[in-house]
Amino acid sequence: MIEVKKLTGEYLNDLKPKEVLDLGCGLGKKSLRFLKGGTNVTGIDKNKFRISQEHFKFIQSDIKEYKFEKQYDLIIASLILHFFRETVAIKIIKQIKDHTLEGGLNFLICMSNEDSCSKEKSENFYPSLKKLKELYSGWEIVKEDQDFTAEEEHGDLPPHNHNLIFLLVKKVI
């Protein structure tokens, strides 16, 4: 069983990036950890959040319309790609890859094709682990995990769990 908070820490806590882009940052739970080391973090979210921290720049924007301006050591896309149709999500992944520095990392958490939501919105991006690896062909797979979460309740949904893929990949030189 995947414990999102614990596994996220295992993936990210030892990283020392200088520039981080957090797509769909929400309250910054994944990226604020890097501010202690002086890392510059840019957080993108379509909702307006009040994150006022030194070295943190918030941009209110829809991810599919965001214009990438530079390259980053680490780009995070956590639990956002399933909101988009597959073709749009793949274009976003291409932009993520193109704006990652050589030797830089991408950290993805995706709802998989084994998640029950994938049947309800089959046109959206619910990849298999194999599909994600194909999209990152030529990159080094640093770490990967896939499993179900514990049962949870949110929104108007009955108790359920999600099947998540965690993937950390490195752009090889």
**E strand or H helix that includes residue 41:** strand 40-45
- Note whether 102 and 48 are within 8 A (CB): no
Average pLDDT rounded to a whole number, residues 55-66: 92
Range of the domain at 69: 4-170
| Residue 158's pLDDT band (cuts 50, 70, 90) | confident
Instruction: Identify the CATH number of the domain in which residue 45 sits.
Output: 3.40.50.150
**In percent, how much of the chain has pLDDT > 70?**
100
- What is the pTM for the complete model shown? 0.94
pLDDT in tens, 73-132: 999 999 999 999 999 999 999 999 999 999 999 999 999 999 988 888 889 999 999 999
- The total domain count for the chain is 1
Does 133 or 157 have the greater pLDDT score?
133
Task: Name the region of 63 (left: φ>0; alpha: ψ -120 to 50; beta: rest).
Answer: alpha
